[in-house]
A = this chain, B = another copy of it.
Amino acid sequence: MGHHMPREELEPFFSPRSIAVVGASRDPSKAGYQIVLNLKAKFRGKIYPINPYADEILGLKCFKSVSEVPDHIDLAVISVPADTVLKVVEECGLKGIRRVIVISAGFREIGPEGAERERKLIEIAKKYNIRVLGPNCVGVYVPKTGVNTTFLNPSKMGFPPEGHIAFISQSGAFGVAVLDWAAMRGLGISKFISIGNRADVDEADLLEYLVDDEDTRVITMYVEGVENGRRFVEALRKTTPRKPVIALKSGRSEAGARAIASHTGSLAGSDAIYDAVFKQTGVIRAYGMEDLFDMAVALALQPPARGKRVAILTVGGGSGVMATDAAIDLGLEVPRLSDSTIEKLRRVLLPIASPYNPVDVTGSARDEHLIEAVEILMRSGEIDAIIWIPYFMVPGITESIVEKFVERVKKVNRELDTPIPIVGAATGGEYTWRLASKAEKMGIPMYLSVERAAKAVWALYRYGEWLRRVGSFEEYVEKFRKLVGM
């Protein structure tokens, strides 16, 4: 297949003007019903349900086949029994449709018969110059354009808002669960792509597309195993100097690899090889769903760290200690501050505060103590990143701390040569999470525990280290500053 202009080739998957849903159904238990329902919710282009036995589906005029549709169709979403798929793709080709998502299962994942069907699918696609996503996938979700080809009942799941994180998932079910979780967490997505059997469009194509996608700042992926290792490595090499890539690769263990074989029929490959590839190409490896997105949120909202020296600014002493442990466990440093910085902190903090590192403003602190202290730390030149532990529930910290704190951080960062990344940890309940969410919407990633905040800082350090190694730190930071107005 041609892989030369991924941007133009793949764009219609994400922002088509018209979509045909082949296998659209009036039966709510069918994927073909839910796809139309999910598309109708937000997509503003034209939707053409295709079903030979229906006149209308969910209020939309229905067509017997794609050839009957009077307009041009940018994208066909195919959800028909496997043995009908080839015929439908042929029809799509004749109609001039050049982008197809095959939702249907019953291909390589079921054995030799399915593999043969998949080979034919690609043969037909080549004949008509069609790019295929899938088969055996849930397709794409793009909040910005409203394209949503997932087929689960929207009463049972939520969809996340527009944001800066792209997510490529080899597992459809896991991908959908993540979308649902992301919706609850308020985590913004630029593009979600379920690649299924990736008979045509694969991880490498998507990396080449996403590296130039303006809406995507961070690329996350769930990987069980890749097919074309060389192309994958090349694509990663071209991507990571410009955008962070975080990968959750499963099948680390022998038992896990065996499980992959029995569920997809594909080989996981040696984990040591993946690990080496990730290290050599600057991919950050995640070890779980929360880990993957905790790091992604940090990289989407904050600049990379120039070094590993972390300052901890806390309202609670115990949390400061735990944050220190967590940072050290990850190979970061929590250095002592210089006498002159300690003296500056002492001047603005309460007498009972501890002006060392962790800087413990204590539970008696007021908003201004955190705000003055963060500026002193940022300007000190002695640290590369900050973990902020605000304890919104203590009496002296008001609701307006968030705006005031974030504004000060932004102001100082605009004045510094290298911006200092900052993440927050806010253990607590609803009031705390209302304020934490506000802080995150304003640009400071917030986590439920100091351990997760420390891991987020580690990702900022790790990516910064990679950028310095490949010589693109300054360029990346410059671009990032423009993006976020920092």
Q: Chain A interface (Cβ within 8 Å of chain B)?
A: 29, 110, 152-153, 155-158, 169-174, 176-178, 180-181, 183-184, 222, 224, 248, 250-256, 258-260, 262-264, 287-291, 315-322, 324-329, 333-334, 352, 354, 356-358, 360, 363, 391-395, 427-433, 448-452
The answer on a CB contact under 8 Å between A224 and B321 is yes
Q: Give every chain B residue within 8 A of A178 (Cβ-Cβ).
A: 427
Nearest CB in chain B: distance from A474 CB, A: 30
Additional A-B contact list (8), CB under 8 Å, known A173-B316, A264-B317? A155-B431, A158-B429, A173-B315, A174-B316, A255-B333, A256-B324, A259-B356, A288-B450
Q: Which residue of B lies closest to A289 (CB)?
A: B449
A-B contact pairs, 22 of them (CB 8 A): A152-B395, A153-B395, A155-B431, A156-B393, A157-B393, A171-B318, A171-B319, A173-B316, A173-B317, A177-B319, A177-B393, A180-B432, A253-B324, A253-B328, A255-B333, A255-B334, A259-B324, A259-B360, A262-B356, A263-B360, A264-B317, A290-B449
Which residue of the partner chain, among B153, B181, B259, B329, contacts A253 with CB atoms under 8 Å? B329
The answer on a CB contact under 8 Å between B393 and A325 is no
Nearest CB in chain B: distance from A336 CB, A: 8
The answer on a CB contact under 8 Å between A319 and B174 is yes
Nearest CB in chain B: distance from A432 CB, A: 6
Copies of this chain, whole number: 2
The answer on a CB contact under 8 Å between B449 and A152 is no
Task: Given A157-B393, A251-B321, decide whether A430 and B184 contact each other with a Cβ distance below 8 A.
Answer: yes
The answer on a CB contact under 8 Å between A180 and B289 is no
The answer on a CB contact under 8 Å between B429 and A183 is yes
Task: Given A181-B428, A262-B354, decide whether A318 and B173 contact each other with a Cβ distance below 8 A.
Answer: yes
Q: Which residue of B lies closest to A176 (CB)?
A: B393
The answer on a CB contact under 8 Å between B290 and A181 is no
The answer on a CB contact under 8 Å between A256 and B321 is yes
Q: Give every chain B residue within 8 A of A252 (Cβ-Cβ).
A: 325, 328-329
A153 to B396, CA, bound (A): 11
Which residue of the partner chain, among B259, B320, B433, contacts A184 with CB atoms under 8 Å? B433
A315 to B451, CA, bound (A): 30
A358 to B255, CA, bound (A): 9
The answer on a CB contact under 8 Å between A318 and B156 is no
The answer on a CB contact under 8 Å between B153 and A391 is no
Which residue of the partner chain, among B152, B177, B259, B452, contacts A321 with CB atoms under 8 Å? B259
A252 to B322, CA, bound (A): 9
Q: Which 9 A-B pairs have the closest CB atoms?
A: A171-B318, A263-B317, A173-B316, A253-B328, A288-B451, A184-B429, A180-B429, A174-B318, A177-B427
Q: Give every chain B residue within 8 A of A251 (Cβ-Cβ).
A: 321, 325
Q: Which of A224, A259, A320, A327 has the most CB of B within 10 A?
A: A259
A29 to B321, CA, bound (A): 28
Q: Give every chain B residue within 8 A of A259 (Cβ-Cβ).
A: 317, 320-321, 324, 334, 356-358, 360
Q: Give every chain B residue within 8 A of A260 (Cβ-Cβ).
A: 321
The answer on a CB contact under 8 Å between A395 and B318 is no
Nearest CB in chain B: distance from A329 CB, A: 7
The answer on a CB contact under 8 Å between A181 and B321 is no
Nearest CB in chain B: distance from A352 CB, A: 7
Q: Give every chain B residue within 8 A of A224 (Cβ-Cβ).
A: 318, 321
Q: Which residue of B lies closest to A454 (CB)?
A: B288
A263 to B359, CA, bound (A): 10
Q: Give every chain B residue within 8 A of A315 (Cβ-Cβ).
A: 173
